[in-house]
Homo-oligomer: A and B are copies of this chain.
């Protein structure tokens, strides 16, 4: 498949946060879904998806939770929900013009001061 070959040739282009943000925006635009992608709706959707990720773990003991990826169906659900959380987080960052990686890098630096390593 030529699309797949192309991806293999340009792996860096494919799997970066800005590139995924571009693809998500294109996906929404093609379906006229941008009208729903207000900041408040996107944050609500992010929270809903975080809850769906938590649902996978809610009745598991810590031991069962640690082994969740050994179950193929659970592992698929984890991938799926991680993707959904990230999708809404990135779309929120796009509409709010927040750079998520920069925000995290700055937060780690603030936390280095706030919680000095022993």
Contacts and interface: CB of A to CB of B under 8 A. Distances in A.
Given A53-B46, A61-B62, A15 B108 contact: no
A contact patch SS: helix
Count identical subunits in the complex.
4
A118 B43 contact: no
A30 interface: yes
Contacts of A54: 43-44, 46-48, 51
Given A43-B54, A82-B93, A36 B17 contact: no
Interface of A: 14-17, 20, 23-24, 27, 30-31, 36, 38-41, 43-48, 50-62, 65-66, 68-69, 78-80, 82-87, 89-90, 92-93, 96-98, 100-108, 111-112, 115, 117-118
